[in-house]
Amino acid sequence: MESTKCLIIGSGPAGYTAAIYASRAALAPILLEGLQPGGQLTTTTVIENFPGYPQGVDANQLMADMRAQAVALGADVRPGFVSAVDLSKRPFAVTVDGEETIMAETLIIATGATAKYLGLPSEEKFRGFGVSACATCDGFFYRGKDVAVVGGGDTACEEATYLANLCRKVYMIVRRNVLRASKAMQERVARTENIEILWECQTREVLGDASGVTGVRLVRKSGEVFEKPIDGFFLAIGHQPQSELFKPWVATDEQGYILTEGKSSRTSVEGVFAAGDVQDPHYRQAVAAAGSGCRAALDAERFLLQ
């Protein structure tokens, strides 16, 4: 059976950064890439807010570079999906692809989160071509245009006000006649002149052509169907942390985000650390995830030295 001082699960910015730091600390880490090598960023196109790239950087290239850097420093980066874990005692047993088991002295969970989508075929068709689940990532491309944000929570309000600074008009598509968001966020939306809330509306279809999204077909609670011409369709109906496998062992909040102690990456299980979006319901940015991956590797190194 294979053993390692440090096993990293997940291949987004958090996982690769943890691998870079753990390699330099001579922990000879193994990183399991999971089902979506490169993580959530690989679903977007150009990244303009990752420091160090004045012209922006292709998201897939950025992730390929992070991977290459981890490998160059000695990380053992492999394909592999974790199908089971036993965190009851150290070393931790991690089953990969239902077959092989790796025994890990420390574990860094960097499995990320996935944005929720409505599940419409048209939404899937235009994903990356006008359909996005991250206004901070993609809003810039819609300067001076009309866009829609689906959802009525804090994220939707935050994304709508962010987009309102860039776009001509922002529609919020809200399925009920109230917002779920906090009072402060609701007031911020109400104060923003170019946001219009379409109450009690559901999306029937995202409309588009070869150039990308051109509009959205909506249905009101009353049954009335109507269309709005838009260039961007943003989902803000929540995220799902990928923590299912670890929930029986590590403490999570009610939404499933892994709880970490203070500013550290320590979880409720000694020797298990969490980094990136799986423990971060608030920032969800590549650079923030990379920073927390760094912290997790440093925490793992210090733990092993104890």
Of 37, 74, 281, 291, the one binding ligand NDP (CB under 6 A) is 281
The reply to whether 123 sits near ligand NDP by the rule CB under 6 A is no
Told to check if 151 binds ligand NDP by CB under 6 A, we report yes
Distance CA 255, CA 293 (A): 21
Tell me the C-alpha distance between 108 and 276, whole Å. Answer: 10
Candidates 39-47, 57-65, 155-163, 214-222: pick the segment binding ligand NDP (CB under 6 A).
Answer: 155-163
- Element of type H or E holding 227: strand 225-229
140-148, 151-159, 190-198, 296-304 -> range binding ligand NDP (CB under 6 A):
151-159
* Four-point Cα dihedral 207, 210, 214, 217, nearest 10: 0
Q: Name the residue with the smallest CB distance to ligand NDP.
A: 153
Residue of 249, 274, 277 whose CA lies nearest to 260: 274
In whole angstroms, the minimum distance from the beta carbon of 55 to ligand NDP comes to 30
> Which residue stretch of 73-81, 124-132, 172-180, 287-295 sits at the interface with ligand NDP (rule: CB under 6 A)?
172-180
Binding of ligand NDP by 230 (CB under 6 A) = no
Using the rule CB under 6 A, which residue among 147, 148, 189, 237 binds ligand NDP?
A: 237
Choosing from 138, 154, 277, 280, which is the catalytic residue? Answer: 138
Per CB under 6 A, the segment of 1-9, 23-31, 75-83, 154-162 that binds ligand NDP is 154-162
Residue with tokens 């699960």: 9
Out of 123, 158, 231, 299, name the contact with ligand NDP by CB under 6 A. Answer: 158
256 binds ligand NDP (CB under 6 A): no
Between the alpha carbon of residue 238 and those of residues 38, 118, 235, the distances in Å are 21, 11, 8
Check residue 155 for interaction with ligand NDP (CB under 6 A).
yes
**277 catalytic, yes or no?**
no
**Total number of residues shown for the chain:** 306
The least CB distance from residue 163 to ligand NDP, in Å, is 14
Where in 174-203 is the site for ligand NDP (CB under 6 A)?
175-176, 180
**Tokens 């929930």 identify what position?**
247
Least distance in Å: CB of 71 to ligand NDP? 34
Tokens of 242: 């990928």
On whether the CB atoms of residues 107 and 271 are closer than 8 A, the answer is yes
Q: Is there binding between residue 250 and ligand NDP (CB under 6 A)?
A: no
Alpha helices in the chain (DSSP H): 13-24, 59-72, 121-125, 135-138, 154-164, 183-191, 286-305
Q: Which of residues 102-121 bind ligand NDP (CB under 6 A)?
A: 118
Active site residue 138: yes
Q: Decide: residue 239, CB within 10 A, 0-12 exposed, 13-18 middle, 19+ buried.
A: buried
CA distances from 155 to 12, 108, 128, 306 (A): 22, 27, 19, 40
Nearer to ligand NDP, 145 or 180 (CB): 180
Nearer to ligand NDP, 160 or 245 (CB): 160
Question: What distance in Å separates the CA atoms of residue 191 and residue 102, rounded to the nearest whole number?
Answer: 54
- Reply yes or no on whether 86 is catalytic: no
Local structure of 169: helix, strand or coil:
strand
Among 33, 123, 138, 154, binds ligand NDP (CB under 6 A): 154
Number of chain residues interacting with ligand NDP (CB under 6 A): 15
What are the residues binding ligand NDP (CB under 6 A)?
A: 118, 150-156, 158, 175-176, 180, 237-238, 281
Please give the positions annotated as active site: 134, 137-138
